[in-house]
């Protein structure tokens, strides 16, 4: 066993549910997706711990909401220093649990570190009090932002520290206690993150960790004391969360869901730029990003040449173990057996639907046995709204080209799925970009940059089935507070209301 899980974290310390004390409700073991012979850890789950974790978060909320902004900022900065110290070990854990290359895992940790400064310097400004003079005679107005209460953050496997921590840190900055439930695929990475919060010296109960499966999440989010729920993951799981919470109007649910993102390549595009950007957007993280490019509408006059060059580059991609390798890889394996089976299922689906296969996605053998696959490239003659392959999120290294003649057709293709997370366009004419901004239904639309070019100083979220209008990024903190308005009468002697009739004072 490479790693040791310490269990759940509440009331300021870890509590390990030892297997010999009582039979667990469920046990999970995790193999490294890049080397199935390496067992990373074993976890024992007991659902009865929910009461203690929620109790801890409620107690922490009462302390933390009264803490000054200066102290909140100082404590978050101490957390940042702890992450810097643990950066190498956290990067290794991410690489081994997710399968993403070590170099990519390191970029996740340093993105996390940089986001702390953005939250302190920019997000915090969004929730500072606002004051308005003389809204009416003798009366000033005030707007305050108050913490909503204990928040449950359900993290994804693909960015197990960075995405979840943006939500955690924003909730904390706003004055909320948190319960972090990492993906059961990346429990050790989640533990290391919470260790950093522990070492930063947050008050008891403010930081809590719940290790377990989807059932554990369901039990926590149904608790009346939980006021904020932040989830990043699949559309199906997001719908289940809404089904379990819709009756409780005191809960704010912020969902960041999937995508079937498009990148339009016009006939006047810079081909070398588009090739570089799309290789990254389609295949980085083995295509396991909600913001990955899946569909490329490409001008009919250029598609044959472009696809040939794209295919040649894709064949050079190094796919190997994230840490133990001869040549540093661009791609590691998929995250688990289910992801592998799902990817291969879609490969067969494309063939059955008559979509041309340019590069076959298949299971690869490497020195270490794992869930390695090759990238896949397909060509569809047109968009078919009845195609499961073209309309569903595959969450694997796949790219499908669809020729178009006019920009209106490309925009229609981009709008043809139930998702609306991200889109991009490659062109020398900025008018094409402005047209896309007006007509494509997406939360992010980039010009001469791929769909994975998100920036934490901007909102990040989608429309349609890609989210529920609570974007991440700099605006995450907006979902961690409620607005409190107040009127202050400062000149009571001159306060008269001539509009009131029928009564004498």
Helix 303-314 vs helix 271-283: angle between axes, to the nearest 10 degrees? Answer: 50
End-to-end Cα separation, the chain, in angstroms: 80
CA distances from 149 to 60, 190, 225, 229 (A): 10, 22, 8, 10
The pLDDT of residue 21 is 65
Q: What is the pTM of this model?
A: 0.95
How many whole angstroms separate alpha carbon 86 and alpha carbon 107?
14
Using CA atoms of 185, 188, 194, 200 in order, give the dihedral in degrees to the nearest 10: -150
Helix, strand or coil, per DSSP, at residue 324:
coil
Give the single-character DSSP code of 160: T
Task: State the catalytic residue, choosing from 97, 256, 393, 409.
Answer: 256
Token digits of residue 423: 């889109």
The pLDDT of residue 357 is 98
Helices (H) and strands (E) in the chain, counts: 13, 23
Helix, strand or coil, per DSSP, at residue 93:
helix
253: nearest Cα among 241, 262, 265:
241
**11 exposure class (CB count in 10 Å sphere: 0-12, 13-18, 19+):** middle
CA distances from 170 to 49, 66, 147, 204, 227 (A): 26, 16, 11, 18, 15
Give the single-character DSSP code of 357: E
The pLDDT of residue 491 is 81
How many whole angstroms separate alpha carbon 417 and alpha carbon 68?
46
Task: State the catalytic residue, choosing from 196, 290, 436, 480.
Answer: 290
The pLDDT of residue 502 is 85
How many whole angstroms separate alpha carbon 283 and alpha carbon 396?
8
How many Cβ atoms are within 10 Å of 433's Cβ, its own excluded? Answer: 19
294: nearest Cα among 258, 344, 339:
258
Q: For 452-491, b where at least 16 C-beta lie within 10 A, e where not — what string? A: bbbebeebbbbebbbbbebbbbbbbbbbbbeeeeeeeeee
Per residue of the chain (505 residues), what is the pLDDT tens digit? 899 999 999 999 999 876 556 778 899 999 999 999 999 999 999 999 999 999 999 999 999 999 999 999 999 999 999 999 999 999 999 999 999 999 999 999 999 999 999 999 999 999 999 999 999 888 999 999 999 999 999 999 999 999 999 999 999 999 999 999 999 999 999 999 999 999 999 999 999 999 999 999 999 999 999 999 999 999 999 999 999 999 999 999 999 999 999 999 999 999 999 999 999 999 999 999 999 999 999 999 999 999 999 999 999 999 999 999 999 999 999 999 999 999 999 999 999 999 999 999 999 999 999 999 999 999 999 999 999 999 999 999 999 999 999 999 999 999 999 999 999 999 999 999 999 999 999 999 999 999 997 899 999 999 999 999 999 999 999 999 999 999 999 887 776 766 778 887 7
- Angle (CA) 451 456 462, round 5°: 50
Token digits of residue 393: 């999120």
Give the single-character DSSP code of 203: P
How many whole angstroms separate alpha carbon 97 and alpha carbon 26?
20
Position of tokens 């928040």? 151
CA 144 to chain centre: 28
The pLDDT of residue 441 is 98
How many Cβ atoms are within 10 Å of 52's Cβ, its own excluded? Answer: 14
SS (H, E, C) 223-240: CCCCCEEEEECCHHHHHH
How many whole angstroms separate alpha carbon 249 and alpha carbon 482?
13
User: What residues contact 312, with CB distance under 8 A and at least 6 apart?
Assistant: none
Sheet containing strand 293-299, edge to edge, reads 356-359, 376-379, 398-404, 293-299, 261-265, 422-426, 444-447
How many whole angstroms separate alpha carbon 316 and alpha carbon 305?
18
The pLDDT of residue 177 is 98
The pLDDT of residue 17 is 73
Position of tokens 């306060």? 495
Q: Where are the alpha helices (DSSP H) in 135-270?
A: 162-173, 187-200, 214-221, 235-245
Q: Is 256 a catalytic residue?
A: yes
Q: Are 465 and 235 in contact (CB under 8 A)?
A: yes
How many Cβ atoms are within 10 Å of 109's Cβ, its own excluded? Answer: 25
How many Cβ atoms are within 10 Å of 14's Cβ, its own excluded? Answer: 16
Helix, strand or coil, per DSSP, at residue 266:
coil
């Amino acid at each position: 066993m490479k790693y040791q899980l310490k269990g759940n974290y509440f009331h300021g310390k870890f509590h390990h549910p030892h297997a010999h004390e009582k039979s667990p409700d469920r046990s999970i073991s995790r193999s490294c997706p890049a080397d199935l012979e390496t067992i990373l850890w074993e976890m024992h789950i007991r659902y009865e711990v929910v009461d203690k974790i929620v109790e801890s978060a409620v107690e922490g909320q009462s302390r933390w909401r009264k803490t000054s902004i200066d102290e909140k900022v100082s404590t978050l900065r101490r957390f940042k220093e702890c992450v810097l110290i643990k950066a190498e070990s956290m990067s290794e854990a991410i690489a081994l649990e997710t399968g993403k290359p070590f170099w990519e895992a390191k970029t996740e940790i340093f993105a996390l570190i940089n986001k702390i400064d953005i939250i302190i310097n920019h997000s915090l400004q969004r929730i500072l009090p606002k004051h308005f003079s003389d809204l009416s005679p003798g009366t000033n107005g005030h707007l305050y932002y108050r913490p909503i209460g204990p928040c449950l953050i359900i993290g994804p496997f693909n960015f197990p520290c960075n995405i979840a921590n943006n939500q955690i840190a924003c909730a904390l900055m706003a004055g909320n206690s948190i319960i972090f439930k990492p993906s059961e695929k990346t429990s050790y990475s989640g533990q290391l993150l919470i260790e950093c919060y522990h070492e930063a010296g947050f008050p008891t109960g403010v930081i809590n960790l719940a290790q377990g499966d989807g059932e554990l999440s369901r039990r926590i989010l149904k608790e009346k004391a939980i006021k904020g729920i932040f989830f990043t993951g699949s559309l199906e799981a997001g719908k289940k969360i809404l089904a379990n919470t819709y009756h409780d109007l005191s809960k704010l649910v912020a969902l960041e869901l999937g995508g079937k993102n498009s990148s339009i390549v016009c006939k006047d595009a810079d081909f070398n730029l588009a090739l570089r950007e799309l290789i990254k957007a389609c295949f980085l993280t083995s295509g396991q990003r909600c913001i990955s490019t899946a569909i490329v509408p490409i001008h009919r006059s250029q598609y044959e040449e472009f696809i040939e060059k794209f295919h040649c580059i894709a064949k050079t991609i190094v796919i190997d173990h994230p840490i133990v390798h001869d040549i540093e890889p661009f791609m590691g394996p998929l995250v688990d057996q289910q992801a592998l089976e799902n990817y291969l299922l879609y490969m067969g689906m494309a063939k059955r639907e008559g979509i041309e296969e340019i590069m076959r996605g298949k299971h690869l053998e490497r020195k270490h046995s794992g869930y390695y696959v090759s990238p896949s490239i397909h060509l569809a003659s047109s968009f078919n709204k009845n195609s499961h392959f073209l309309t569903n999120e595959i969450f694997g290294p796949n790219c499908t080209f669809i020729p178009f003649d006019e920009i209106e057709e490309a925009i229609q293709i981009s709008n043809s799925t139930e998702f609306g997370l991200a889109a991009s366009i490659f062109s020398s004419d900025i008018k094409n970009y402005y047209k896309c901004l007006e007509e494509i239904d997406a939360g992010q639309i980039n010009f001469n940059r791929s769909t994975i070019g998100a920036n934490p100083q901007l909102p990040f979220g989608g429309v349609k089935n890609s989210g529920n209008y609570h974007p991440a990024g700099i605006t995450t903190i907006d979902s961690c507070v409620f607005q409190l308005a107040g009127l202050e009468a400062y000149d009571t002697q001159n306060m008269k209301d001539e509009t009131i009739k029928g009564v004498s004072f």
